[in-house]
Amino acid sequence: DAGITQSPRHKVTETGTPVTLRCHQTENHRYMYWYRQDPGHGLRLIHYSYGVKDTDKGEVSDGYSVSRSKTEDFLLTLESATSSQTSVYFCAISDRGDEQFFGPGTRLTVL
Amino acid sequence: SQQGEEDPQALSIQEGENATMNCSYKTSINNLQWYRQNSGRGLVHLILIRSNEREKHSGRLRVTLDTSKKSSSLLITASRAADTASYFCATANFGNEKLTFGTGTRLTIIP
């Protein structure tokens, strides 16, 4: 987990509220990714970034938005949280777009 | 949709034995990667094998890739209790910095 942190690590929120998760890296890697991990589904890509202000959608992007205004920070926003977004969220970084390094995860519960 | 599917879903072996996990995928790939996840932690990159490679070693890990069968295997030799974890394969398509993960194999090493 060295060089990549996620905040908060745990969050409980209510349906309909906006939530922002933060990923911060100190490695100056170009690529950053947000995944969610659910039982039976493995990891699924939500959004990723290939540079400052450059982002693209992943497999399960509905209901999520992202922003990257600085190389080191990648924010994931749940615009109006739903119970189906209860999950563990992982951020990952990559220098050349091949092997990825993962953060410790954020456990989000939407009541 | 999952590109990689691991087999078996769960595996329990005695300490000291070898563990073999398999991954099958559906479309042509640029590279295939294996990751380990300890309970409650982020994923850790283990090894990357490119589409023009057939076998790769790293310590007690041996990975093979058969592009004609669209399959890969991960062999862990002389298993240790610390190898207890979930193992995921992930595939990258050509010209694509995104990974698609399988649902994982849960490996338990019995002391």
Distance from CA of A103 to the nearest CA of B (A): 6
- Predicted confidence (pLDDT) at residue B4 exceeds the cutoff of 80: no
Show residues of chain B in contact with A44, CB under 8 Å. Answer: 101
Mean pLDDT value across residues B84-102:
90
Nearest-by-Cβ selection for A41 from B35, B98, B103: B103
- In this prediction, residue A2 carries a pLDDT of 59
Mind listing the pLDDT tens digit for each residue in A8-42? 999 999 999 999 999 999 999 999 999 999 988 88
- Mean pLDDT for the stretch of residues A92-107: 94
**pLDDT confidence bin for A90, thresholds 50/70/90:** very high
Residue B40 reports pLDDT greater than 90: no
Task: Please tell me if residue B98 touches chain A, with a CB cutoff of 8 Å.
Answer: yes
φ/ψ of B32, rounded to 5, equals -130, 140
Q: Which of B1, B7, B39, B43 to mutate to test the interface with A (most CBs of A within 10 A)?
A: B43
pLDDT-derived band at B3, boundaries 50, 70, 90 = low
pLDDT of residue A12: 98
Question: Is the pLDDT assigned to residue A1 strictly greater than 60?
Answer: no
Query: CA-to-CA distance for A14 and B99, rounded, in angstroms?
Result: 31
- Provide, rounded to the nearest whole percent, the portion of chain B with pLDDT above 90: 86
CB contact under 8 A, A45 and B102: no
Cβ–Cβ below 8 Å for B98 and A92: no
Mean pLDDT of the A89-98 span: 93
Residue A50: list chain B partners with CB under 8 A.
97
pLDDT of residue A40: 80
What residue of A is the nearest CA neighbor of B46?
A: A99
When CB atoms are compared, the residue of A42, A50, A100 closest to B45 is A100
Tell me how close the Cα of B67 comes to any Cα of chain A, in angstroms. 18
pLDDT, average across residues A63-91: 97
Mean pLDDT, rounded, for A73-94: 97
Helix/strand/coil (H/E/C) assignment for every residue in chain A: CCCEEEECCEEEECCCCCEEEEEEECCCCCEEEEEEEECCCEEEEEEEEEECCEEEECCCCCCEEEEEEECCEEEEEECCCCHHHCEEEEEEEECCCCCCEECCCEEEEEC
Mean pLDDT of B75-86: 97
Closest Cα to residue B31, out of B15, B17, B51, B16? B51
Site from B2, B99, B105, B106 to mutate, A interface, most A CB atoms within 10 angstroms = B99
Give the residue-averaged pLDDT of A83-103.
95
pLDDT, mean over chain A: 95
Task: Provide, as residue numbers in chain A, all residues whose Cβ is less than 8 Å from the Cβ of B2.
Answer: 41-42
- Residue A91 confidence (pLDDT) above 90: yes
